[in-house]
Amino acid sequence: MARIKDTLLRDEERRLKAATLGELAAERLRVFCWCNRCGHNATLDSARLAEDLGADFPVPEVGAKLRCTGCDGKDISTRPAWPGLGTVTSHVPTGEPDEAAEADDG
């Protein structure tokens, strides 16, 4: 019985694993960034971030490496910029990169 439970737990853990920058770059998806302090948001190129942080870097942890260009805050949430969520998140995807968040050197 324990083996079945272990298998189920491993499968669940694999299913809930955070997406990586390399996975997003392979799908040509961008990273959506949201400042929890002022509400400023932007999308960043996942391929460029993967070059800087590594392809295995988890997308939800990218925010810890960013600083908001709106308020200089460091409380940034990040997730994949799934297509079609523009209306829900009040951002409109464009063809041009929006480099409104910058990497934090510290």
pLDDT tens for 66-87 read 999 999 999 999 999 988 755 5
Q: Tell me which of 99 and 61 has the higher pLDDT.
A: 61
Q: Which residue stretches of 31-74 are H helix?
A: 46-53
Alpha carbons 20 and 46: distance in angstroms, whole number: 9
Average of pLDDT values for 18-36? 94
Residue pair 33/99 in contact by the 8 Å Cβ criterion: no
Q: What is the CA radius of gyration of the chain?
A: 16
Q: Tell me which of 11 and 41 has the higher pLDDT.
A: 41
Give residue limits of the domains in the chain: 19-103
Q: Of 70, 87, 89, whose CA–CA distance to 78 is shortest? A: 89
Tokens linked to 90: 């009040």
Q: What does pLDDT average to over the chain? A: 82
pTM (two decimals): 0.67
